[in-house]
A and B are shown apart, each in its own frame.
Chain A
């Protein structure tokens, strides 16, 4: 069902538009005519969306919700991008090498990946965060590291499906060096599906970061984050549900948009190079 919806042109376009919007807003946040995200205003607490000067209202400390959403997007996007880039490059490299080399090299590499994967993620996160720290950089590094084995697995599976194909055999038969085969035969075929998956993974990472924020394990207090906003609004659910619902909706839409974009890209790339 979701696939059918994703295929529908307008949904796909809207997803890309939304992602672009979020990214642009996050980058140019300081240029936007919005109040500062940490500007406290005890006299204008818990205003409803649509109030003067506060498009989406204010939270329990009088801070503008829209502004906090936009600045909070930075956290989500940076963490998402970090895991994407880290996973794609490191995980991709490990996976392709493992898939092509096979034998002992493959076993060792994939064993290492399995070790990382088999740790209960949340426990690992809590422990790492406690030791490593809670700056944006630290969180990004941790989540980036945890993304590597997943990308590695996909890269390896993709590589395996291509190494046995005739064109790789033909390249070997023509006298190509292993390095050439990895770079020019395998890589061009492996990276598109990985990028497509990666977009979906970004959505997942955003949720993970959101959960961490909610648990108070992500970036520290003054820096707004979506999960933090949800946590902050927990106590006001009954009377002012907007505090929770608005950031939840934004997070939900963003994750959905990434999923649809990833699927669309996946469909497109599998059509182009189809044998």
Chain B
């Protein structure tokens, strides 16, 4: 069956992907991503949220096979990416493009913008128009910008150039790895609007990675929350923000600066500051969040909760996700 025959097919299928970095000497293996499965459907934006160390960037690179994941499979538009090498892989890569966090470091400091943007098409025939169109599409003036160097542009402009570079390959999916985190609020808003425009005009789906929940909320149709290499909650955006079920998601929402409401969950104070400081390593058995979780019970240390479906496309990995807890659910309902 080709992709065209399957309705609502998945654009991107991530299946049981793990990324493990071997340590040097001793056993300092880093399990950046552990058995993560998710998908991005045609025409939808998936937000990926988590803090540092959760593995979201490693996952993004693994999807791009840069380097390939330690285990698991990645399928893009029906084609298996894992196991591809050389030219085939490069060809597939062109349809998934990536935009990185640091706008200026993403551009070669010694090449002019025009060259940078046309680089992805080096091995194919490309007319100047393609580059000009891409620059215009991101709101830049081709005539002025083509000859400049990255150091002559602002952060926002550099990020637009990165997006233009991604556009020339006519990708179906754009992975944005903290693409607006380094930008000022006013510039961030411009870039977010631009991404939305591109979604509407070119049908480009996004895998949007960020630690900033408000930004993710603005962009995503569905959201996955990661903690220490695992997905702990995955749901449609409305669901996750209004009815978060995993304690970590709740903690994230409460931590959004300026959103402190009365009765907010304060797991750190509830457990002890000591637990909050512990950085649990991904090797530990049981639920990775239990050290900071206000609801932790013995079962949390014994077995890891699986990601289960609790209805309306909402998935969460917590032993108590179906058991109502009076204090937490009341507080959550007040949000």
Interface residues of A (CB under 8 A from B): 165-167, 169-177, 180, 184-185, 188-189, 192, 272-275
Docked-complex contact B122 and A170, CB < 8 angstroms: no
Docked-complex contact A166 and B106, CB < 8 angstroms: yes
Partner of A166 from B93, B100, B122 at Cβ < 8 Å: B100
Neighbouring B residues of A169 by C-beta, 8 Å: 61, 66, 100
B165 within 8 A of A: yes
Could you tell me which residues of chain B, from 142 to 193, have a CB within 8 Å of some CB in chain A? Answer: 149-151, 162, 165-166, 169
Docked-complex contact B119 and A173, CB < 8 angstroms: no
Could you tell me which residues of chain B, from 84 to 142, have a CB within 8 Å of some CB in chain A? Answer: 90-91, 93-94, 97-98, 100-102, 104-111, 115, 119-120, 122-123
Docked-complex contact A180 and B100, CB < 8 angstroms: no
B64 within 8 A of A: yes
Contact A175:B66 (CB < 8 A) given known A167-B107, A184-B119, A188-B111: no
CA distance A130 to B122 in the complex (A): 51
Neighbouring A residues of B105 by C-beta, 8 Å: 165-167, 275
Contacts A/B (CB < 8 Å), 5 sampled: A166-B100, A173-B97, A175-B90, A184-B122, A189-B110
Contact A180:B122 (CB < 8 A) given known A167-B107, A169-B100, A174-B94: yes
Docked-complex contact A175 and B91, CB < 8 angstroms: yes
14 other contacts beyond A170-B100, A175-B94, with CB at 8 A cut-off?
A169-B61, A170-B98, A170-B162, A175-B93, A176-B119, A180-B122, A184-B119, A185-B111, A188-B108, A188-B111, A189-B108, A272-B110, A273-B110, A275-B105
CA distance A171 to B107 in the complex (A): 9
CA distance A166 to B64 in the complex (A): 14
Query: What distance in Å separates the Cβ of A57 from its nearest Cβ neighbour in chain B?
Result: 50
A175, A189, A272, A274: residue with the most chain B Cβ atoms closer than 10 Å: A175
Partner of A185 from B90, B104, B108, B166 at Cβ < 8 Å: B108
Query: What distance in Å separates the Cβ of B37 from its nearest Cβ neighbour in chain A?
Result: 22
Q: Count the B residues whose beta carbon is within 8 Å of the partner chain — how many?
A: 32
Docked-complex contact A174 and B108, CB < 8 angstroms: no
Docked-complex contact A174 and B104, CB < 8 angstroms: no
Query: What distance in Å separates the Cβ of A39 from its nearest Cβ neighbour in chain B?
Result: 51
Docked-complex contact A273 and B169, CB < 8 angstroms: no
Closest 6 CB pairs of A and B: A273-B109, A174-B120, A175-B90, A188-B110, A166-B106, A175-B93
B61, B64, B94, B111: residue with the most chain A Cβ atoms closer than 10 Å: B111
Query: What distance in Å separates the Cβ of B107 from its nearest Cβ neighbour in chain A?
Result: 5
Docked-complex contact B106 and A274, CB < 8 angstroms: no
CA distance A169 to B66 in the complex (A): 8
Neighbouring B residues of A272 by C-beta, 8 Å: 110, 149, 151
Neighbouring A residues of B169 by C-beta, 8 Å: 174-175
CA distance A208 to B101 in the complex (A): 48
Q: Which residue of A lies closest to B67 (CB)?
A: A172
Query: What distance in Å separates the Cβ of A178 from its nearest Cβ neighbour in chain B?
Result: 10
Neighbouring B residues of A176 by C-beta, 8 Å: 90, 119-120, 122
Partner of B149 from A167, A171, A273 at Cβ < 8 Å: A273
Neighbouring B residues of A165 by C-beta, 8 Å: 105
Query: What distance in Å separates the Cβ of A173 from its nearest Cβ neighbour in chain B?
Result: 5
Query: What distance in Å separates the Cβ of B77 from its nearest Cβ neighbour in chain A?
Result: 15
Neighbouring A residues of B100 by C-beta, 8 Å: 166, 169-170
Docked-complex contact B66 and A173, CB < 8 angstroms: yes
Query: What distance in Å separates the Cβ of A170 from its nearest Cβ neighbour in chain B?
Result: 5
Docked-complex contact B98 and A184, CB < 8 angstroms: no
Neighbouring B residues of A170 by C-beta, 8 Å: 98, 100, 106-107, 162, 165
Docked-complex contact A173 and B108, CB < 8 angstroms: no
Docked-complex contact B122 and A274, CB < 8 angstroms: no
Docked-complex contact A275 and B109, CB < 8 angstroms: yes
Q: Which residue of A lies closest to B96 (CB)?
A: A173
Query: What distance in Å separates the Cβ of A65 from its nearest Cβ neighbour in chain B?
Result: 46
CA distance A275 to B106 in the complex (A): 9
Neighbouring B residues of A167 by C-beta, 8 Å: 105-109
Contact A177:B64 (CB < 8 A) given known A166-B106, A170-B98: no
Query: What distance in Å separates the Cβ of B93 from its nearest Cβ neighbour in chain A?
Result: 4
CA distance A165 to B103 in the complex (A): 11
CA distance A184 to B116 in the complex (A): 10
CA distance A175 to B150 in the complex (A): 21
Docked-complex contact B93 and A174, CB < 8 angstroms: yes
CA distance A128 to B119 in the complex (A): 47
Neighbouring A residues of B66 by C-beta, 8 Å: 169, 172-173
Neighbouring A residues of B94 by C-beta, 8 Å: 174-175
Docked-complex contact A189 and B97, CB < 8 angstroms: no
Q: Which residue of B lies closest to A191 (CB)?
A: B110
Docked-complex contact A175 and B107, CB < 8 angstroms: no
Neighbouring A residues of B115 by C-beta, 8 Å: 184
Neighbouring A residues of B93 by C-beta, 8 Å: 173-175
Partner of B120 from A175, A189, A273 at Cβ < 8 Å: A175
Docked-complex contact A166 and B102, CB < 8 angstroms: yes
CA distance A188 to B109 in the complex (A): 9
Query: What distance in Å separates the Cβ of B149 from its nearest Cβ neighbour in chain A?
Result: 7
Docked-complex contact A174 and B119, CB < 8 angstroms: yes
Neighbouring A residues of B151 by C-beta, 8 Å: 272-275
CA distance A274 to B110 in the complex (A): 9
Query: What distance in Å separates the Cβ of B70 from its nearest Cβ neighbour in chain A?
Result: 17
Query: What distance in Å separates the Cβ of B316 from its nearest Cβ neighbour in chain A?
Result: 32
Docked-complex contact B90 and A275, CB < 8 angstroms: no
